[in-house]
Amino acid sequence: RRTLDRVQRLLYDVTLGGATPPMPIHLIDLKPGTFFEAKKFTVTAFPVAHRGPDNFGFLFEERARRPFLAERAEALGVPAGPERGALTRGESIRLADGRVIAPDDVLGLILAGGPLNIVFMSVLGLFSLAAVAVALERLVQTSRGRLLPPQLLNRLDELVRRGELQPQPYHELCESHPSPLAAVLRAGLSRLGRPAGEIEKAMEDTLAREVSQLRARIRPLSVIGSVAPLVGLLGTVVGMLEAFRTASTAGLGKAELLAKGIYLALETTVAGLAIAIPAMLAAAWLHARVERAMFVIDERLMETLPLVPRMQPASSERPASRSGHNPLLSARS
């Protein structure tokens, strides 16, 4: 029906702007699959399928509607002529400067929205790049090999099974495999000779600090997931205000202008949600990954903790005497 209305408007322009046409015009909506043989020719710029003594029929085909194709072609610098006709038929074209333009080019839809739409979509594009960069970096840094090196776990299990009470093997193990588990174990080893409660408190504080650092580096994903929809919504509100302003100052075709403005304004909301949903899912998955690693670290520490207070520190690691007895004065006496 929309195609027939379009043909009617075209015929109105051809036939002297609404004056009585030189012949009766009948628009017949043929059913799909109906064919007839006739020699094709044109009346002005319109292809004609047949022409009788008092009527003629136009050729047209149903095509997928591409919103604002003319506006997008204009924004992309596609010249008027056969190139735009090819886009209308759903064909990709190559311009003189080498660019290849597809019928449903997203860039054209963004540019057709005007300067404000371009600004908001650019901000959302930066958000998407930042989200991808953070997600990939955290994916590498929170891998099991980084948080829980297999060599560290295997060697630590071996030392615990045989009840090793010399701190040197543990020090060497932590130095050769830097990781959150090694940092926590090193904190306990640095307080050898102190009360067991103090050693345990040092290890717990270090573990909490490691977890906090890992979570803090995931937080940008959560921030992007929260802010991107708001930026998209702001772009939509601004776009709709502009659409209503344009429609209020227009003469004819207000509904079409308003529909176009609302359609383009909703782009930013869609883009914001498309960025926020993957970002929030990635943040939740990375948080769960960290929690699983911390659970394994806690298990290993529970196995190792009973051995740490029983270890004898090296002479350089022995804490100063708290009884007030000065070994230097004793040596002089």
Q: Write the pLDDT tens digit of every residue in 144-177.
A: 888 888 888 888 888 888 877 788 888 888 888 8
More confident residue, 311 or 61: 311
* Domain membership of residue 88 as a residue range: 66-109
What whole-number percentage of the chain has pLDDT above 90? Answer: 17
pLDDT of residue 59: 54
Residue 41 above 50 pLDDT? no
Coil/strand/helix, residue 61: coil
More confident residue, 14 or 138: 138
* pTM of the complete model: 0.61
Contacts with 31 (C-beta within 8 Å, 6 or more apart), sequence order:
none
Is residue 325, in this structure, part of any structural domain at all?
no
Amino acid 220 reads P
pLDDT of residue 328: 37
Same domain membership, residue 28 and residue 142: no
Same domain membership, residue 266 and residue 196: yes
Least confident of 72-81, 100-109, 165-174: 100-109
Same domain membership, residue 167 and residue 89: no
DSSP code at position 317: G
Q: Write the pLDDT tens digit of every residue in 251-282.
A: 555 676 777 778 778 889 999 999 999 999 99
Residue 74 above 80 pLDDT? no
More confident residue, 68 or 15: 68
Is residue 116, in this structure, part of any structural domain at all?
no
Most confident segment among 97-106, 130-139, 204-213, 306-315: 130-139
pLDDT of residue 321: 41
pLDDT of residue 70: 63
Confidence tier at 325 by pLDDT (50, 70, 90): very low
pLDDT of residue 219: 93
Total domains, the chain: 3
pLDDT of residue 151: 87
Is residue 321, in this structure, part of any structural domain at all?
no
Q: Write the pLDDT tens digit of every residue in 111-136.
A: 666 778 788 889 999 999 999 999 99
Is residue 330, in this structure, part of any structural domain at all?
no
DSSP code at position 191: T
Is residue 322, in this structure, part of any structural domain at all?
no
pLDDT of residue 58: 54
More confident residue, 316 or 189: 189
Amino acid 222 reads S
CB-based contact 222:280 (threshold 8 Å): yes
Same domain membership, residue 181 and residue 96: no
Is residue 328, in this structure, part of any structural domain at all?
no
Query: What does the radius of gyration of the chain's CA atoms come to, in whole angstroms?
Result: 37
User: For the purposes of burial, counting CB atoms within 10 Å of the CB of 38, is it exposed (0-12), middle (13-18) or buried (19 or more)?
Assistant: middle
Work out the average pLDDT over 55-81. 60
Work out the average pLDDT over 9-32. 51
pLDDT of residue 220: 94
Residue with tokens 């929260």: 226
Work out the average pLDDT over 235-243. 87
